[in-house]
């Protein structure tokens, strides 16, 4: 695939997948606000303790074979049948292990109430494994419209289940059953969309070839999970459910844009880059992806950084005020994780150097664990957020350094793409913060004013900064141009 074809495929994929992801995000945001009002911090804390264990185990069953399937250059349908049975057997064994070890895990966490939650959530391991191969085939075939549907339906069903059960007084169980409903809906949807059906095929040559690539994917996932969840494990063990709840709520919010935009962009970028032969086209597509995501994500995180207090008060009430500084620090964390780290993983995978991403995780994880050990279990939510923010910036620096050293890319080009929206976002957020402090209105009114002011100022400043036209982004035609021609860096007129 040549450069123009890769860029068109990427932008078209981002448009479709992002459409589904944005719809899912809206549903998730609304349900999150409702749940925060219906449930207590302890409920979020208990669920976070259980899900961190299940998510850790859930990474292992596919053995990295689903990503290897996307990169595979042979008969993908036959290769899918080769790996399907090993994936399902491994998932079933993993779910049984979680059920057996639920009580010892709860003992370590000092939370006996986690045991039934763990055993119930272990169902997700098998269900998600069943969905993994059809999902990989949809990605490989670049069926973006179908993937948009898989992004929209599961969160919708999950939100309905969680809110209804929370209103009925089910506490943490409402989130548990909502997550199971989400996994089940995803599995049903992808099997309905997929034309592939598994057959019993044993081919050790194909399996070995895919596992050689997949082992690095597994190491990457385990390393990523460790750095992204060590903070939760630390707080669960040393600080208890309430403090973890104050950490988990803002963490869930800052990961929403990453999950709904960066992760979706990676789902598009990896299969696109895997089919690109020209190194220059690969690098150009990566720069396009970084610029586009910086444009979309920077205003979100800078808004939270400057306006966390009014955001928390308006949506979650004063009982959640202790999580304000956590949200601010985690917003800085997310800038590094989402823009300078997360989007680069697909590039290293597609260029057959997945070990670089693994080493970056190891370095940052070593720093974070070393500092946490120095704290000896005494640190609360805010210091932990600070530690992992620093670790994530180290990881991002490692990843960017790899692009310079291994691929000969210019540091200024990468940094410019990653920070493309930072100046406009910081300026707009600061003015929105000032406006809410000058006004004396209800929290809801201040939040609405801050959001509207911030969004408009961001578009005005960004339009002037990049195109010398403050009104550039007040036209539907110009928004289409963002996706259609952004990679070519043509000025918007």
Instruction: Specify if 378 maps to a domain.
Output: yes
Quick one: tokens of 172?
Answer: 């943490």
Q: Specify the pLDDT at position 15.
A: 53
Instruction: Specify if 438 maps to a domain.
Output: no
* Span 33-71, pLDDT tens digits: 788 778 877 787 788 888 878 877 877 766 666 767 776
Instruction: Specify if 466 maps to a domain.
Output: no
Average confidence (pLDDT) over 233-251: 83
Average confidence (pLDDT) over 241-254: 84
Q: At 330, is the pLDDT very low, low, confident or very high (cuts 50, 70, 90)?
A: very high
Cβ contacts of residue 437 below 8 Å, gap of 6+? none
* Span 111-150, pLDDT tens digits: 788 889 989 989 988 998 888 888 877 777 766 666 666 7
Domains in the chain, number: 1
Average confidence (pLDDT) over 163-175: 88
d(CA 145, CA 151) in angstroms, rounded, equals 10
Quick one: tokens of 38?
Answer: 């219906």
Instruction: Specify if 371 maps to a domain.
Output: yes
Instruction: Tell me which residue range forms the domain holding 212.
Output: 3-420
* Span 343-354, pLDDT tens digits: 788 888 788 788
Question: Which residue, among 464, 418, 452, has the nearest Cα to 307 in the 3D structure?
Answer: 452
Instruction: Specify if 315 maps to a domain.
Output: yes
d(CA 123, CA 103) in angstroms, rounded, equals 17
Q: Report residue 219 CA to chain centroid gap.
A: 18
* Span 444-485, pLDDT tens digits: 999 999 999 999 999 999 989 888 888 888 876 666 666 554
* Span 178-214, pLDDT tens digits: 989 989 998 888 888 888 888 777 776 666 767 676 6
Model confidence at 21: pLDDT above 60:
no
Instruction: Specify if 477 maps to a domain.
Output: no
Q: At 361, is the pLDDT very low, low, confident or very high (cuts 50, 70, 90)?
A: confident
Model confidence at 267: pLDDT above 50:
yes
Cβ contacts of residue 98 below 8 Å, gap of 6+? 53, 54, 57, 118, 119, 121, 122, 125
């Amino acid at each position: 695939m040549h450069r123009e074809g890769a860029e068109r495929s990427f932008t078209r994929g981002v448009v479709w997948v992002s459409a589904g992801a944005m719809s899912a995000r809206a549903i998730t945001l609304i349900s999150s606000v409702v749940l925060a009002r219906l449930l207590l911090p302890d409920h979020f804390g208990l669920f976070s303790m259980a899900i961190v264990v299940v998510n850790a185990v859930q990474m292992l069953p596919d053995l990295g074979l689903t990503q290897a399937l996307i990169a595979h250059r042979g008969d993908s349908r036959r290769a899918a049948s080769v790996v399907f049975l090993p994936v399902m057997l491994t998932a079933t064994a993993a779910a049984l292990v979680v059920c057996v070890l639920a009580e010892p895990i709860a003992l370590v966490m000092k939370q006996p109430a986690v045991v039934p939650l763990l055993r119930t959530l272990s169902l997700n391991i098998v269900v998600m494994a069943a969905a993994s191969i059809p999902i990989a085939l949809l990605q490989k075939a670049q069926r973006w419209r179908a993937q948009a549907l898989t992004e929209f339906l599961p969160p919708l069903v999950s939100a309905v289940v969680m809110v209804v059960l929370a209103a009925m007084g089910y506490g943490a169980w409402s989130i548990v059953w909502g997550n199971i409903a989400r996994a089940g809906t995803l599995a049903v949807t992808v099997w309905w969309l997929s034309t592939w059906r598994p057959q019993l095929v044993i081919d050790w040559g194909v399996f070995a070839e895919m596992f050689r690539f997949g082992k690095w994917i597994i190491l990457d996932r385990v390393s990523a999970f460790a750095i992204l969840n060590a903070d939760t494990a630390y707080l669960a063990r040393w600080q208890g459910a309430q403090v973890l709840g104050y950490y988990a709520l803002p963490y869930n919010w800052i990961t929403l844009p990453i999950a709904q935009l960066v992760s979706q962009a990676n789902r598009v970028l990896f299969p696109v880059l895997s089919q690109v032969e020209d190194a220059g086209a690969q690098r150009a597509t990566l720069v396009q992806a970084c610029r586009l995501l910086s444009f979309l994500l920077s205003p979100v995180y800078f808004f939270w950084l400057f306006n966390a207090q009014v955001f928390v008060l308006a949506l979650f009430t004063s009982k959640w005020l202790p999580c304000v500084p956590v949200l601010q620090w985690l917003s800085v964390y997310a800038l590094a994780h989402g823009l300078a780290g997360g989007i680069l993983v697909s590039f290293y995978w597609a260029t057959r150097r997945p070990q670089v991403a693994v080493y970056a995780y190891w370095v940052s994880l070593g720093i974070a664990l070393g500092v946490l050990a120095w704290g000896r279990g005494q640190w609360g939510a805010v210091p932990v957020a600070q530690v992992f923010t620093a670790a994530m910036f180290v990881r991002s620096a490692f990843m960017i350094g790899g692009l310079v050293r291994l691929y000969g890319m210019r540091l200024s080009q990468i940094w410019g793409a990653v920070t493309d929206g930072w100046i406009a976002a910081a300026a707009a957020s600061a003015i929105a913060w000032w406006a809410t402090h000058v006004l004396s209105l209800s929290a809801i009114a201040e939040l609405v004013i801050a959001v509207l002011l911030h969004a408009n100022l961001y578009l005005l400043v960004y339009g002037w900064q990049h195109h010398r036209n403050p009104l550039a982004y007040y036209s539907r035609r110009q928004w289409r141009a963002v996706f259609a021609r952004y990679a070519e860096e043509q000025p918007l007129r």
